[in-house]
Amino acid sequence: MFFQIVDILGTIAFSISGVLVALDKRMDAFGVLIIAFVTAIGGGTLRDVLIGLEPVSWMRNMTYVYVIIGAAVFAVIFRKKLTYLRTSLFLFDTIGIALYTVVGIETGLIAGLHPVICIALGTMTACFGGVIRDILCNEIPVIFRKEIYATACILGGFTFFLLRIFLGDKNYLFIIAGLIVIVVRLLAVKFKISLPSLYKKEDTI
């Protein structure tokens, strides 16, 4: 039950994130709905395909479809209340990657996969919906920029498996891992911490 609640909350967060980007790009209603869908289910679809789940989770449970549509309608109706779109987008995106990281890890654990693969699944679940969203919206995906994004998911995943040795309650582990992702992402943006760029001026042709 806890796992399903986390999954639905992540779906809501990413759906709203997708809607905010689509509105910022002045898309029509169909475009907004499509971007909301791909943002919410893109990473989870890739995860399910990689571990051989057929059909993928959102096709087996219509709850996710209803949640995405509901969240999209909510975001459109109350878009004027979300005055600071950039701040709102960052907030929902950060919450989304935290929740989807733990969802991906749990899916990997259920499939009996190695911890490293579980962390990779968590990171893909969290990040690839945003990658598809940004590509469709003609943006360079956040994961490919210098920002701490996927790195926060990886750190959250490692924290989960490190604390797993000491804590028996898996729910607490998921909460802590998710909070680590959020805190790392917030601190990185606040203090402008980023990964080093490999670009050098002498590389310019």
pLDDT of residue 89: 78
**177: Cα within 13 Å, side-chain hemisphere:** 34
Share of the chain above pLDDT 90, in %: 69
Tell me, yes or no, whether 199 lies in a domain.
no
Residue 201's pLDDT band (cuts 50, 70, 90) = low
Tell me, yes or no, whether 201 lies in a domain.
no
Q: Report the candidate in 181, 178, 177, 170 with the shortest Cα–Cα distance to residue 2.
A: 170
Tell me, yes or no, whether 138 lies in a domain.
yes
Contact 18, 41 (CB under 8 A): no
Query: What gap in Å lies between CA 152 and CA 107, rounded to an integer?
Result: 19
Q: What does pTM read for this prediction?
A: 0.89
pLDDT of residue 12: 92
pLDDT of residue 198: 67
Q: Which domain holds residue 178?
A: 2-193
- Say which residue, 178 or 203, is predicted with more confidence: 178
Q: Answer yes or no: is pLDDT of 86 > 80.
A: no
Q: How many domains does the chain have?
A: 1
Residue 203's pLDDT band (cuts 50, 70, 90) = low
Tell me, yes or no, whether 203 lies in a domain.
no
Q: What is the sign of the dihedral through the CA atoms of 185, 189, 193 and 198?
A: positive
Tell me, yes or no, whether 40 lies in a domain.
yes
Tell me, yes or no, whether 52 lies in a domain.
yes
Query: What gap in Å lies between CA 103 and CA 123, rounded to an integer?
Result: 10
What is the identity of the amino acid at 71? A
Question: What's the mean per-residue pLDDT of the chain?
Answer: 90
Enter the tokens of residue 13.
Answer: 């967060």
**Tokens 């990779």 map to which residue?**
120
Which contiguous run of DSSP H or E holds residue 135?
helix 115-136
What is the identity of the amino acid at 163? L
**Stretch 74-92: mean pLDDT, rounded?**
78
pLDDT of residue 43: 96
Enumerate the β-bridge partners of residue 147. Answer: 194
Q: Answer yes or no: is pLDDT of 24 > 70.
A: yes
Enumerate the β-bridge partners of residue 50. Answer: none
